[in-house]
Amino acid sequence: MSFRELSSSEISDRAGKINSILEDLSIKRLDSAELGEKAKILEEIYSSKYRHGYEGILDVIRNIEKTHSSGGNQSASEEDQEMDSLFFLTTNLDDLKEHIRIGSYSVDTFNGIVRLSDHVKLEIHRLRDLQEQDYQKEQMTRTIKELLAKSENLASEVKIAQNNSEKLQMHMVAILGIFAAIVMAFSGGMNLLSGSISISGDSNLCNVVFVVVLCGIILFNLIAFLIGSIMSIIHPVICDKEEGHSQKGIFNSKLLIAFNGLMMSLLAADVVIMICL
pLDDT at 53 over 80: no
| pLDDT, tens digit, 9 for 90 and up, residues 202-220 | 667 777 777 777 777 877 8
Region 30-40 average pLDDT: 89
Q: How far apart are CA 198 and CA 259, in angstroms?
A: 26
Q: For residue 200, what pLDDT is reported?
A: 60
Region 144-153 average pLDDT: 89
Query: What percentage of the chain carries pLDDT values higher than 70?
Result: 80
Beta-bridge partner residues of 240 = 245
Q: Contacts from 94-98 at CB under 8 Å and sequence distance 24+?
A: 95/30, 95/35, 96/25, 96/30, 96/35, 96/38, 96/39, 96/42
The letter for the amino acid at 161 is A
Q: Which of 21-25, 102-106, 180-184 has the lowest mean pLDDT?
A: 180-184
Q: For residue 183, what pLDDT is reported?
A: 79
Opening angle at CA 69, ends 68 and 70, nearest 5: 90
Q: How far apart are CA 155 and CA 238, in angstroms?
A: 32
Region 118-146 average pLDDT: 90
Q: For residue 8, what pLDDT is reported?
A: 78
Q: How far apart are CA 96 and CA 107, in angstroms?
A: 14
Q: For residue 3, what pLDDT is reported?
A: 47
Q: For residue 139, what pLDDT is reported?
A: 92
Region 130-139 average pLDDT: 90
| pLDDT, tens digit, 9 for 90 and up, residues 219-258 | 788 777 777 777 777 665 444 444 444 444 455 677 778 8
The letter for the amino acid at 2 is S
3-state secondary structure of 200: helix
pLDDT tier for residue 73 given thresholds of 50, 70 and 90? very low
Query: What percentage of the chain carries pLDDT values higher than 90?
Result: 4
| pLDDT, tens digit, 9 for 90 and up, residues 6-18 | 777 888 888 888 8
Burial class (CB in 10 A: 0-12, 13-18, 19+), 218: middle
Residue that wins the pLDDT comparison between 36 and 9: 36
Q: How far apart are CA 141 and CA 143, in angstroms?
A: 5
- Sorted by where each begins, the domain ranges of the chain are 8-150, 160-276
Q: For residue 2, what pLDDT is reported?
A: 43
Region 151-158 average pLDDT: 87
Q: Which of 81-85, 153-157, 267-271 has the lowest mean pLDDT?
A: 81-85
Region 2-31 average pLDDT: 80
CB of 24 closer than 8 Å to CB of 95: no
- DSSP-H helix ranges across the chain: 8-25, 32-45, 57-70, 78-102, 107-199, 205-234, 253-276
